[in-house]
Amino acid sequence: MKNSNLLLELRSYSSETRSHHHDYHQLVLPVDGELSISVDGKEGAVFSEQLAVVAAGKDHGFSSSNQNVFVVADIPEALAPNLEKLPAFITLDPILSQYVSFLHQHIKSDAFGKNSERQMLLLLIQLLQERFGKELRLDRRIESARAYLDQHFKETISLPQLASIANLSPRQLSKLFLHELGMTPSQYVIEKRMQKAWHLLECSTLNVQQVAEHVGYSNLSSFSDRFRKHFNKPPSYFRKIGK
């Protein structure tokens, strides 16, 4: 089964789906009900406290006897080359649970454009990778660059500066970073900033200007424009639903 396009949608499963595999990754996220699932011989379930990661090429099957709804993401392997290193079953912490609810809400409201879908899934993958980084075994040079960006994402960091930290040329860094993490260093910084901004808008008492400054934007208009492009919604929208 060939799929080079990213797909994010709501799905329900009835009875049993025969074991199969495909050449793209798949995330199965809980909304309602429970789904028994086997992934590469490992038995588990998707329910309110757990999601499943089905890596490209892994045999898997589903079964459910009750009414159910899940957010399912079909992700081209090239978009998230390291997703296969995550565990098949992941326990949801409060932040991940909140994010799954957010995805569900926006799929129902048809708020996403195609670019927004891609950005949202990259953000979700990044959340998962941050919590299970030991599973990733990144190239040590890219790991050092990523660690630096994690600590300094609010700052303006040039590609040559980051390349020096990783002991690579700028060209080598860009190529290897993209291969290891599925995005460029500049895209990674934007993802970090937007992830932090979204969380602060929903969970803190900071106003939008303060949130913008907290994630590295001195200009509120620039922050709002970037945020709207990223999430297809203005910052004020997330402030409202977080209250």
Quick one: 83 and 165 in the same domain? no
Residue identified by tokens 């090239």 is: 78
Residue 122 belongs to some domain of the structure: yes
Domains of the chain: total: 3
Query: 91: helix, coil or strand?
Result: strand
Quick one: 32 and 52 in the same domain? yes
CA R_g for the chain: 19
User: pLDDT tens digits for 9-24?
Assistant: 899 987 777 788 889 9
Quick one: 78 and 152 in the same domain? no
Average pLDDT in the 194-218 region? 90
Residue 1 belongs to some domain of the structure: no
Q: Which residues of 180-206 are buried (b: 16+ CB within 10 A; e: fewer)?
A: bbbbebeebbbbbbbbbbbbbbeeeee
Quick one: 94 and 150 in the same domain? no
Percent of the chain predicted with pLDDT > 70: 91
Quick one: 213 and 231 in the same domain? yes
pLDDT of residue 25: 92
CATH number at residue 215: 1.10.10.60
pLDDT of residue 58: 93
Quick one: 126 and 19 in the same domain? yes
Quick one: 84 and 191 in the same domain? no
Ranking 34-43, 126-135, 175-184 by mean pLDDT, the lowest is 126-135
| Domain range for 167 | 140-182
The yes-or-no verdict on residue 89 having pLDDT over 70 is yes
pLDDT of residue 230: 79
Residue 2 belongs to some domain of the structure: no
Average pLDDT in the 72-95 region? 85
Residue 95 belongs to some domain of the structure: yes
On average, the pLDDT of the chain sits at 85
- Confidence bin at 101 (pLDDT 50/70/90): confident
